Structure 1
Amino acid sequence: MRDDWWIYLFLLPTVVGYGLYTVYPLVASWWYAFLDWPGFADVGTFIGFANFELLWADDLFWNSFRNSLVFLAIAVPLRVGLALLLAIVLNRRSTPFRGLFRTLLFLPVVTTGAIVGVVFTLILDAGGPVNLALVKSALVDSPVDFLGSSGMSLYSVIGVWVWKWLGITLIYWLAALQTIPNELYEAARIDGAGNWKEFRYVTLPLLLPFLVVITLIDMVGALNVFDLVMTLTGGGPAFSSEVVEVYIYRTAFGATVPQLGYASAAAVLFGLLTMALAIAQALGIRAARRAMA
C-alpha cells in the first residue's frame, strides 16, 4: 500500500462522493429522527423518542408498511418462481432462439425504473394497448383502471416490477442450473425418469441452497421500489399503493410543511427492516455455502 499510494488517488472521488451522499445522510438521519425539525431552521429541537411515538400511532405509516409487506409477499415469490421456470426452459439446448429470449428478458433490467414507470402509465391507461386488447378480446366489458383503482394499483405496480427485474433473477437461476453436472441428468434418464422426475429429484434438491440466496436478494430489492411507485401511481389513489419509501419522501418533501425529523424516524425504522433482511441474507449465503461444500 505504501508503494502504490498513488492508486488511491483514483479512488478518492468515489470515496468522497460515497461519504457525502450515502454515509453522511445515513448517519445524519439517525440524529434527525430525534429532532423536531422542519428542515428550514439551522438546527432542530431535541425531542427524544417523540417522533417514534407519533409514528407508532400513525395509521398512514402502518398502511405504507403493510403495503410494503404485501409487495414483498407477492412480488418476490412471483419473480423467483417465474424466473426459475423460464431458466429451466432457456437452459435446455433444444430450446430454439434461447439466446435471443435471454437477451429480451434481460433488457428491462438495464432500463431506468423511472422511464419504465412513465411508459407503463401509457400502456396501462384506459385507452392503452392492454385495455384495448382486453376489450377487443371480450375478456372485459369496459377498460380496467389499473393505476387509478385503489384495489388494483398496488398489484399493477407489482406486475411492472416483476417484469422489469425478472431478467436479473433469470441470470441467477441460469448460473445455478449450470452448476448441476449433466451426468446426473443422464443417469436419471437411464433410470427412466421423465422431465418432472428430473426436476423433482435432481434439479430442485441441488437448487435449494441457491433458492435461499436468490430469494433474500430479491427481498431486499422489493423494498426499493420508490422510482416505479412514484412514476406509476405516486402512492395513490388514497394511499393504496404507498410504500414506506414513498411515505418517507412525502412526509419529508411533499407535505405543505416538511417534517424532516419525523420522516427520518420512519427512515430509521425502514432501515432497520432492511438491515434485518441483509443480516438474513448473509446468514442464508453462509448456510448455502455450507450446504454446497
Structure 2
Amino acid sequence: MFETLHRYRYHYLMLLPGLILGGMFVFYPIFAACYYAMHDWSGFNSDKVFVGMGNFVKLFTDPIFWDAFQRALIFLLGTVPLQMTISLVLAVLLNNQLLKMSTYFRTMIFLPVVTPVAVIGIIWTFLLSPFNGPVNGLLLDLGLISRPVDFLGSTDTVMPSVIGVYVWKWLGITMIYWLAALQTVPDDVYDSAKLDRCRGAKLVWYIVLPIVLPFAVAITLISAVGALNVFPLIMSMTNGGPFFASEVMEIFIYRTAFATGDGSIPRLGYAAAAGVFFGFVVLSLTIGQAIATRRARAGAKEIRS
C-alpha cells in the first residue's frame, strides 16, 4: 500500500487542491449541519444547547414546515413533466438532420440556461408586472383578459408563474440530454423502422423510447433533483411570497436560519435540521436514480438483443 502511494505521489499531489476545496465547501458544511441540527442555537451567540433529536421532533410536527415541503413537491410535479415532455418534442424535431438551422434553434433554446438565474428572475418580474408589463399588455391586446393580472402577487397565480419561468429557464439543458440520448440510437434501427412503415409518433413511442429508456430515467431524476433546488429563482422573483404561497423548502430553511423581515428570532439549529432532512430527500432521489438507471439499462439491452 505504501509503495503504491509513493509511486503515485505526484498524482495525489495534483488531487490535493480539489480535496481541500471539497473538504472546505462540501464535506465540512455537511458535518457542520448535522452537528448544528442537534443544538438549539440562534447562530448569533455562543450559547448552544444540545437537544439531540429535539429539533427533528419539532420539525415533524411543524405545519409550516410541511406546507413548505408540500409546495416543494407541487413545484417538482409541476415542472418535471412539462420540462421532460416539451424538451423531448424539441429534441426529436431538432435531431432531424434534414431540418435547416437546427443548430441555431438549439442555441436559442439553450441560451437561457447560461443566463444567470438572478438576471432571469429580475427580467421576468418586470415582464409579468401588472403595471405596464409586456405580458399583461399582450394579453390585453389579444382580448384574453379584461384587466391586468398580478401573476407574482396573487396566491392563485404565483406558483404556476414561477413554474413556467423555471421550465423556460432549464428547458435547454434537458433538451441537450435528450439529444444525446437520441443520438445513441443506431441508424439501422431507423432504417428497419422505415421498411416496416413505422414513422412519426409510432417510431418514437415503440422504437426510440424503449432504447433510450435508461437515459429517460436518468434525465427525469436529474430534473427532479434540480427542481428541488430552486432557491435563487424564487428569491429573485417572489422572496417566498405572497403570504408564503411560493415558500418552498429552501426558502423555509433560509428564512428560519436568518429570520429575514418577519421579526422572529433566527434559529440556525432548527434550520439545520430542516436542511439535513431536505438533504436526505435529495440523496434518496439520487440513489433511486442509480437503481432505476441500472434496471432500465438492463431492460434496454434485452430489447436490443
What amino acid maps onto 1:254 in structure 2?
A: A
Is structure 2 residue 297 aligned with structure 1 residue 289? yes
Once the 2 structures are TM-superposed, how far is the Cα of residue 205 of structure 1 from its aligned partner? 2.0
CA distance, structure 1, for counterparts of residue 181 and residue 25 of structure 2 = 35
Structure 2 unaligned spans of 5+: none
SS at match of 1:179: coil
CA distance, structure 1, for counterparts of residue 183 and residue 248 of structure 2 = 37
Q: Among 33, 50, 54, which residue is 1:50 paired with?
A: 54
Q: Among 154, 161, 172, which residue is 2:177 paired with?
A: 172
Partner of 1:62: 66
CA distance, structure 1, for counterparts of residue 156 and residue 175 of structure 2 = 29
Q: Among 278, 281, 287, which residue is 1:273 paired with?
A: 281
Identity across the alignment (%): 48
Q: Among 165, 185, 188, which residue is 2:193 paired with?
A: 188
Residue pair 1:125, 1:145 contacting (<8 A) in 2 also: yes
Partner of 1:107: 111
Partner of 1:41: 45
Partner of 2:224: 219
- Structure 1's 6 and 204: CA in aligned 2 closer, same or farther, altered over 3 A? closer
Q: Among 239, 255, 259, which residue is 2:267 paired with?
A: 259
Is structure 2 residue 152 aligned with structure 1 residue 147? yes
Residue pair 2:41, 2:269 contacting (<8 A) in 1 also: yes
Residue pair 1:37, 1:43 contacting (<8 A) in 2 also: yes
Once the 2 structures are TM-superposed, how far is the Cα of residue 275 of structure 1 from its aligned partner? 1.0
| 1:23-42 equivalence runs, <5 A | 23-42=27-46
Partner of 1:83: 87
After superposing the two structures, state which structure 1 stretch, 32-41 or 204-213, moved more. 204-213
Partner of 1:14: 18
- Normalised to the residue count of structure 1, the TM-score between the two structures is 0.95
- Structure 1's 116 and 243: CA in aligned 2 closer, same or farther, altered over 3 A? same
Partner of 1:197: 202
SS at match of 1:2: helix
Structure 1 unaligned spans of 5+: none
After superposing the two structures, state which structure 1 stretch, 76-85 or 179-188, moved more. 179-188
Residue pair 2:41, 2:268 contacting (<8 A) in 1 also: yes
Once the 2 structures are TM-superposed, how far is the Cα of residue 118 of structure 1 from its aligned partner? 1.3
CA distance, structure 2, for counterparts of residue 39 and residue 208 of structure 1 = 46
What amino acid maps onto 2:208 in structure 1?
A: T
After superposing the two structures, state which structure 1 stretch, 15-24 or 29-38, moved more. 15-24
SS at match of 1:238: coil
- Normalised to the residue count of structure 2, the TM-score between the two structures is 0.91
Once the 2 structures are TM-superposed, how far is the Cα of residue 258 of structure 1 from its aligned partner? 0.9
CA distance, structure 2, for counterparts of residue 201 and residue 146 of structure 1 = 40
Residue pair 1:213, 1:288 contacting (<8 A) in 2 also: no
Partner of 1:131: 136
Pairs aligned (count): 293
Once the 2 structures are TM-superposed, how far is the Cα of residue 4 of structure 1 from its aligned partner? 5.0
Deviations 1:100-127 (Å, cap 9, x if unpaired)?
0101111111122122111111111112
CA distance, structure 2, for counterparts of residue 10 and residue 154 of structure 1 = 46
Residue pair 1:135, 1:141 contacting (<8 A) in 2 also: yes
Once the 2 structures are TM-superposed, how far is the Cα of residue 56 of structure 1 from its aligned partner? 1.8
